[in-house]
Amino acid sequence: MKTTTATFKKAKQSGEKITMLTAYDYSTAKLEDTAGVESILVGDSLGMVVLGYENTLSVTMEDMIHHSAAVARGAENALVVTDMPFMSYQTSVYDAVVNAGRLIKEGHADAVKLEGGVKFKEHIRAIVDASIPVMGHIGMTPQSVNAFGGFKVQGKSIEDAKRVIEDAKAVEKAGAFAVVLECVPAALAEYITEILSIPTIGIGAGSSCDGQVLVYQDMLAMYSDFTPKFVKKFGNIGESMTASFKKYCEEVKSGEFPATEHTFKIDDEVMKAITEEN
């Protein structure tokens, strides 16, 4: 059954945890969808794990549309949420609505996600008023990496924790259907989850959140440049891929691959006629 924003609402009420993973291409989206992942995030983390940038700031609308459309083709049941990249909404409320619309129309997303709380409440409200579901994202917001002075846990001091709480309330009031809490202390995430009526989706925010999200290359050990503390490795696919690539190289070099079963046949008569002619 297709996951919708109503499914998120129901899960918050029933206490059933929501599952979300990132994907950036058709094949991965299809695998996650088949596994029952309820929501797929086309995260701007693609800038790092797919495109090899050191942060998410260089990701463009075109990048997001391209990958979102591929994911949407592979996601039959999962709710596809696509990130609004850096500078696609910060510039104005108008830009926010236009670019959110492009992610839906051209990227075939079901919903969009944007980073920031109090400062972006008008942007969220305007996008929601345009009938586009919005997922908020507060706490450690990677598009503000330069303002934060690095990827740092947010909400540890009284003042900072109050700011994160105000952001959560603002996102909810602006009409978001859910909010990602990234890198906030578990007890603070638990408190925010209690006071909000919309589901919280945690990443580095403890087990009390209403759902969890991870970058799939992190949980499969496919991206080794940087592994945050909150990542659990659910598989060692990176190692398995490297071993398979090595084996392929060895077999091509030795002539073991391709074998007869991987080749196409031609009638001896045809070959005879051709070789005699030349």
- Point out which residues bind ligand KIV (CB under 6 A): 22, 41, 43-45, 83, 137, 180, 182, 203, 213, 215
Least Å distance, CB 213 to ligand KIV, is 5
| Residue nearer to ligand KIV on the CB measure, 5 or 200 | 200
Q: What's the CA gap between 272 and 268, in Å, rounded? A: 6
Q: What's the CA gap between 7 and 270, in Å, rounded? A: 62
| Residue nearer to ligand KIV on the CB measure, 129 or 205 | 205
User: 159 by DSSP, 3-state: which?
Assistant: helix
Tokens encoding 65:
């549309």
Q: How many CB atoms lie within 10 A of CB 28?
A: 20
| Residue nearer to ligand KIV on the CB measure, 124 or 261 | 124
| Residue nearer to ligand KIV on the CB measure, 1 or 167 | 167
Q: What share of the chain is helix, strand, coil (3-state, %, to 5)?
A: 45, 15, 40
CA neighbours closer than 13 Å in the CB half-sphere of residue 48: 20
Label residues 76-115 b or e (16+ Cβ within 10 Å = b). ebbbbbbbbbbebbbeeeeebbebbebbbeebbbbbbbbb
Least Å distance, CB 219 to ligand KIV, is 12
Q: Give the strand pairing for 39-42 and 200-203.
A: unpaired
Q: What's the CA gap between 68 and 192, in Å, rounded? A: 30
For ligand KIV, the nearest residue by Cβ is 43
Least Å distance, CB 22 to ligand KIV, is 5
Exactly one of 38, 182, 261, 277 is catalytic; which is it? 182
Least Å distance, CB 231 to ligand KIV, is 10
Least Å distance, CB 157 to ligand KIV, is 23
Q: How many CB atoms lie within 10 A of CB 225?
A: 9
Q: Which of 47, 42, 59, 62 is nearest to 106 (CA)?
A: 62
| 269 among known catalytic residues | no
Active site residues: 182
